[in-house]
Structure 1
């Protein structure tokens, strides 16, 4: 019974995240979200030739889009749901991210 209740609670939180409105960009699910000045993010940004003006800006690493609820694997996020202003680098990195809370 606990497992069913937990599953239902998880589903409702996923629904809340998936239906959240992003005013800054597309809704993404990122494995990691960190400052652009962190060693990992700075290394990736440098390797693709991107200079971020605000070194405190959040970037998402290994991101995938969150689609409509119930449509394939992109309908849930078990990592870090964020809205990012620049998702033009594929799944490698998303720039200008804002965490989404349910």
Structure 2
């Protein structure tokens, strides 16, 4: 039963991803401090899947991207992930991905 459900969910997500036109996000100077669950190259398969579901084409980007990010608004915020500075992510990305992430060393 679980495998049937996962196939249905995967099919629905792929259909949704195919219906959303892919756009390449602009890469600008990082200005937004973020706490991300992980930071990977844009060429990472998982990052590509997340980006595709959001209608983004990051395949040609040569930068790191953050996954599952939230803005750091208070100095000393306890980030359980990786603290980085990224391009300010668009609201429609819902914190799922941030582009051009550079580590912050404290």
Indicate whether the TM-score tops 0.5: yes
Q: After the TM superposition, list the runs of 4 or more consecutive aligned residues in structure 1 that deviate by more than 3 angstroms.
A: none
Q: Does 1:93 align with 2:97?
A: yes
Q: Distance in 1 between matches of 2:44 and 2:59?
A: 14
Unaligned 5+ segments in structure 1 are 1-22
Once the two structures are overlaid, the 10-residue window that deviates more, 27-36 or 43-52, is 43-52
Please report the TM-score for the alignment, with normalisation by the length of structure 1. 0.65
Please report the TM-score for the alignment, with normalisation by the length of structure 2. 0.63
The CA RMSD over aligned residues, in Å, is 1.8
SS at match of 2:87: strand
SS at match of 2:51: helix
Q: Distance in 2 between matches of 1:31 and 1:98?
A: 14
Matches within 5 A, 1:11-90: 24-52=30-58, 54-69=60-75, 75-88=77-90, 89-90=93-94
Q: Which structure features the higher share of strand residues?
A: 1
